[in-house]
């Protein structure tokens, strides 16, 4: 009976209650959305590289090495000489090793030099490998394999020409040595989608006529002549390493960090990711705090709505009292109305969140490589919803107590 009465009372004030429900729904959707993005970002970052035991580069910071070698963010402070790379590759602990050379770009997409072993050993989302959607991996010196985002953004197809630019934001292009798109990779949701992949020898080939970061004036070596040259790399930016046994990971890491020929750094990708999240943890906390404050503001708005309606409902309360309703019934009615409002708002907020996720998921994946899984609400999220409903009931206690204390005569008195 009380539930029907509360529902009828809410329906009679549909406009005001509807605005309150909308405010609660938006706040709940924002709070849960921030949590979805936070956990989705962590999962996407963690799933970007799998099966790689160590990443080796010039000595700098572990987070910096992770960012430029895996996520193509930033630049290396120095390169690793080819001799040091070969020394590392010859160590008995190394099962496989893949070199990476960065520094050039193509229309704001990073160009990465590597070997065909990259396509065999690079894994993401635990055990997924790279697969070509069209064409094949590079076979010729001037072949290039492009990620799905590169192809979609620039409208490239197999056999289209590509001219690589020198540097990250440079207008100087290697026009004398154009590449050909030999393959387009399937979508991975990783930085590979936004990468142009060429061979290590190709990186050397396009810099034959360059010295100290600048093109030698008047010198242009024909591609046929370049093919006859020794294009052994002189340095690499970083290397992905797999060890023969997990037990040898730390000993190999220590050996690399103590390498005497040049200062090197070996990092564990998972540990470096934890350091990265530790750095951005303050921003996470601040964003979460803002979301909590939005929810609190919506609940305060609920309390204000109940307060503002009390003056209009004094006669209603008095009639209920005259019909035999006790003060506790009045209090319970207001609390129940608030709880129902909060419950409808919470459910609507969840529906709104999943609707936005369904629309935004492919766009966020394409724009940022961030995969936001659409999964049923977790136990923690259900507790949040219950907390919102309970908080709605609690904040309604203040106006409900005031209504409880209103006398029958006060409600029947016509105020002028």
Distance between CA atoms of 188 and 208, rounded to whole angstroms?
33
Per the DSSP assignment, residues forming a β-bridge with 235 are 81
Instruction: Record the tokens describing residue 185, joined without a space.
Output: 């990779």
Percentage above 90 pLDDT, the chain: 40
Residue 316 binned pLDDT confidence (cut-offs 50, 70, 90): low
Distance between CA atoms of 162 and 169, rounded to whole angstroms?
16
pLDDT for 313 equals: 64
pLDDT tens per residue, range 176-201: 889 999 999 998 888 899 999 999 99
Q: Which residue has the higher pLDDT, 341 or 87?
A: 87
Mean pLDDT of 355-374: 75
pLDDT for 122 equals: 95
Nearest to 200 by CA among 89, 94, 53: 89
Cβ-contact 264, 80 below 8 angstroms: yes
* Averaged confidence pLDDT in the chain: 84
The pTM assigned to this predicted structure is 0.72
Task: Examine the pLDDT at 158 and tell me if it is beyond 70.
Answer: yes
Mean pLDDT of 23-43: 83
Q: Which residue has the higher pLDDT, 252 or 172?
A: 252
Q: Which residue has the higher pLDDT, 202 or 323?
A: 202
**DSSP β-ladder status, 195-199 and 109-114:** parallel
Task: Examine the pLDDT at 65 and tell me if it is beyond 80.
Answer: yes
DSSP string, 95-132: EEEEEEEEEEEETTEEEEEE-THHHHH-EETTTEE--E
Q: Which residue has the higher pLDDT, 315 or 19?
A: 19
- Give the 3-state secondary structure percentages of the chain, helix then strand then coil, rounded to 5: 55, 15, 30
Instruction: Record the tokens describing residue 379, joined without a space.
Output: 């136990």
Q: Per-domain residue ranges for the chain?
A: 2-45+281-412, 54-267
Cβ-contact 127, 51 below 8 angstroms: yes
Q: Give, in order, the Cα–Cα distances in Å from 129 to each of 72, 247, 288.
A: 19, 24, 35
pLDDT for 404 equals: 62
Q: Which residue has the higher pLDDT, 41 or 177?
A: 177
Distance between CA atoms of 387 and 342, rounded to whole angstroms?
10
| HSE (side-chain half, CA atoms, 13 Å) at 193 | 18
pLDDT for 170 equals: 61
pLDDT tens per residue, range 207-240: 888 877 677 887 888 888 889 999 999 999 999 9
- Of the listed ranges 11-20, 50-59, 171-180, the least confidently predicted one is 11-20
Q: Which residue has the higher pLDDT, 171 or 122?
A: 122
Residue 407 binned pLDDT confidence (cut-offs 50, 70, 90): very low
pLDDT for 329 equals: 72
pLDDT for 163 equals: 93
Mean pLDDT of 61-88: 92
Task: Examine the pLDDT at 414 and tell me if it is beyond 90.
Answer: no
- H or E element at residue 270: helix 269-279
Task: Examine the pLDDT at 336 and tell me if it is beyond 70.
Answer: yes
pLDDT for 372 equals: 73
Mean pLDDT of 48-62: 92
Task: Examine the pLDDT at 83 and tell me if it is beyond 90.
Answer: yes
pLDDT for 358 equals: 86
- Of the listed ranges 41-45, 54-58, 61-65, 272-276, the least confidently predicted one is 41-45
pLDDT for 157 equals: 96
Distance between CA atoms of 27 and 21, rounded to whole angstroms?
10
Distance between CA atoms of 84 and 16, rounded to whole angstroms?
72
Q: Which residue has the higher pLDDT, 214 or 51?
A: 51
- H or E element at residue 240: strand 238-243
Task: Examine the pLDDT at 253 and tell me if it is beyond 80.
Answer: yes
Task: Examine the pLDDT at 277 and tell me if it is beyond 50.
Answer: yes
Residue 43 binned pLDDT confidence (cut-offs 50, 70, 90): confident
């Amino acid at each position: 009976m009380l539930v029907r009465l509360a529902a009828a009372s809410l329906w009679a004030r549909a406009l005001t209650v509807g605005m309150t429900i909308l405010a609660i729904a938006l706040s709940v959707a924002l709070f849960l959305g921030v949590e979805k993005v936070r956990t989705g970002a962590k999962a996407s970052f963690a799933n970007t590289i799998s099966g790689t035991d160590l990443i080796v580069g010039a000595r700098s910071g572990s987070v910096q090495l992770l960012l430029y070698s895996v996520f193509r963010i930033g630049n290396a402070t120095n390169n690793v000489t080819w001799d040091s790379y070969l020394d590392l590759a010859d160590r008995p602990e190394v099962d496989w090793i893949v070199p990476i050379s960065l520094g050039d770009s193509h229309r704001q997409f990073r160009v990465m030099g590597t070997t065909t072993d990259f396509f065999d050993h690079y894994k993401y989302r635990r055990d997924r490998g790279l697969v070509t959607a069209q064409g094949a991996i590079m076979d010729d010196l001037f072949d290039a394999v492009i990620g799905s985002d590169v192809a979609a953004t620039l409208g490239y197809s197999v056999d289209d020409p590509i001219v690589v630019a020198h540097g990250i934001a440079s207008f100087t292009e290697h026009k004398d040595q154009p590449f050909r798109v030999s393959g387009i990779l399937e979508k991975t949701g990783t930085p590979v989608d936004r990468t142009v992949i060429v061979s290590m020898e190709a990186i050397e080939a396009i810099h034959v006529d360059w010295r100290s970061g600048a093109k030698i004036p008047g010198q242009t070596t024909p591609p046929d002549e370049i093919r006859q040259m020794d294009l052994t790399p002189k340095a690499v930016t970083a290397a992905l390493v797999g060890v023969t046994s997990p037990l040898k990971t730390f000993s190999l890491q220590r050996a690399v960090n103590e390498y005497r020929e040049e200062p090197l750094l070996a990092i564990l990708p998972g540990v470096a990711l934890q350091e990265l999240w530790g750095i951005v943890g303050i921003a996470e906390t601040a964003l979460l705090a803002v979301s909590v404050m939005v929810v609190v503001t919506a609940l305060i708005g609920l309390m204000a709505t109940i307060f503002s309606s009390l003056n209009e409902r004094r006669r209603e309360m008095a009639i209920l009292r005259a019909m035999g309703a006790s003060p506790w019934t009045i209090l319970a009615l207001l609390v129940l109305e608030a709880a129902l409002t909060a419950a409808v708002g919470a459910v609507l907020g969840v529906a709104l969140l999943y609707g936005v996720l369904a629309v935004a998921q492919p766009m966020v994946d394409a724009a940022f490589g961030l995969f936001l899984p659409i999964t049923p609400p977790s136990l923690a999220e259900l507790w949040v919803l219950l907390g919102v409903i309970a908080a709605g009931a609690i904040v309604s206690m203040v106006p409900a107590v005031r209504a409880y204390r209103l006398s029958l005569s006060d409600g029947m008195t016509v105020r002028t």
